[in-house]
Amino acid sequence: MCWITPTPRWNSPTSHNSLMQTVNSFSALMPDARCVLRPLPLLFLLLLPVLQACGGAKEVNPEEPEGIILTEAQFAADSMRLGQVETRLFERVIKANGTIEPLPAGMAGVNAPVPGLIKAIHCHNGQVVSKNQALVDVGGSAVIDHQTNYVEALAEYRQLKSEFERVETLFNEHVVAEKEYKRAEAALLSASARYNGLRLKLLAMGFSLARVEQGDFYPTYTLKAPITGVISSLPIHLGHAVDQQTELLTITNPSMLQVRLSVFPSDAALLKPGQRVRLKRVNETKVHEGSLTAIGVGINAATKAIDAYASLPTSKEARFMAMEYLAADIIAHTDSVRAVPDEALIKSDADYFVLVLDKQLNDRYVFSPVNVSIGRRQKGYTELLNPTLSGQLLAKGAYGLDVSR
């Protein structure tokens, strides 16, 4: 038979009753066992944790706040900061591609007024030339023939002019018939036309008429620069045969360039002369400022776009070249919009979120993720299309935070 004589005192009646129930259960399971549990304090020590657990202990579950919780230590480590939705000026930008072209008076081709052969070349590609500077000498039999024909035409013109004056006097005195007068007049007009045509050609070649009339012919004539600029094309060589249709060289004035922009017809209504244009070369980050000068009124059949024209900056450092390609941003107008820094946005799948501050508990910040609709992005800020969003939000350091939980 087994018996237990409890001697310690318990502060809690509940603990004492629990112990006695455990001992009674043990005795019921082993009614015939002969054992003496001594010393009793050792048994109590072994059962003490069970008794304490079964006692009147109370479980505490403090309620955690809902949302994304960040500590001040995280703020300092990731350089986070709070902010608000800001009002900023956003530009309405129209994208366009452009090509640098000379103004109509900024490019000139040089042609030979009379056929001949290239006898001398006084310039080279890329050379800066001044207006009326000698470029190319052209000679050949055609040059001599024109001077010969001019002298003959001059002699014939003078003779027929004298004859016409004689016949005109007789006609006024009713000595000759009107038919003879008309014949003399027609002959003079024909000779005058031939003489003046040859005279103009000699002047175009730069010849002195008085020298040619005296029989002192020029073996060559010199072509001169019609404008000041840079020789951009020179596809000729010595001995090259040329005629009126052959363009010997091209001169471009680098200070008289413009940009031809291709704009979608749907954007044409937003364009006005004087609007700012930002220009940038391909594979270059530097931006140059120009302004819109003209807008076309028809669609270009080749590009299916509207042609608009913009001026170029006059900076010598830019060194723009004809037929160079540029990317352009036309500033149509500016809008006052609500925006947040790009660093405040969190992208989750196809959605964007910002973290709005709910409350601050000691050294902790509790945020709620708010889904937002975004618009334009400019200069580190993103336009918000949510009109009711307000309050403090995480303006920096939101990137990388998980809002899907």
Fold of 95-103+253-334: Elongation Factor Tu (Ef-tu); domain 3 (2.40.30)
**According to the model, what pLDDT value does residue 405 have?**
62
Domain 110-251 class, CATH top level: mainly beta
pLDDT, greater one: 225 or 41: 225
* Distance separating alpha carbons of residues 76 and 68, to the nearest angstrom: 17
Mean pLDDT, range 175-189, rounded to an integer:
93
- Burial of 91-126, coded b for 16+ CB within 10 Å and e otherwise, reads bebbebbbebbbeeebbbebebbbbbbbbebebeee
- Show me where the domains of the chain are located: 2-54, 68-91+336-396, 95-103+253-334, 110-251
User: Which pLDDT tens digit goes with each residue over 43-72?
Assistant: 444 554 444 444 443 444 455 667 888 888
Nearest CA to 241 out of 119, 348, 355 is that of 119
> Given a cut of 70, is residue 130 above it in pLDDT?
yes
How confident is the model at residue 64, as a pLDDT? 62
Token pair belonging to 362: 């000691």
Q: Are 339 and 381 in contact (CB under 8 A)?
A: yes
User: pLDDT, tens digit, for every residue of 207-259?
Assistant: 999 999 999 999 999 999 999 999 989 999 999 999 989 899 999 998 899 99
Taking only the tens place, the pLDDT of each residue in 295-324 is 998 898 888 899 999 998 876 667 888 888
Average pLDDT of 156-164? Answer: 95
Give domain 68-91+336-396's CATH number out of 2.60.40.10, 1.20.120.140, 3.40.50.150, 2.40.420.20: 2.40.420.20
Would the pLDDT of 6 be above 80? no
pLDDT, position 402: 80
In angstroms, the CA 75 to CA 289 distance is: 41
Residue pLDDT, tens place only, 68-99: 888 888 888 888 999 999 889 988 899 999 99
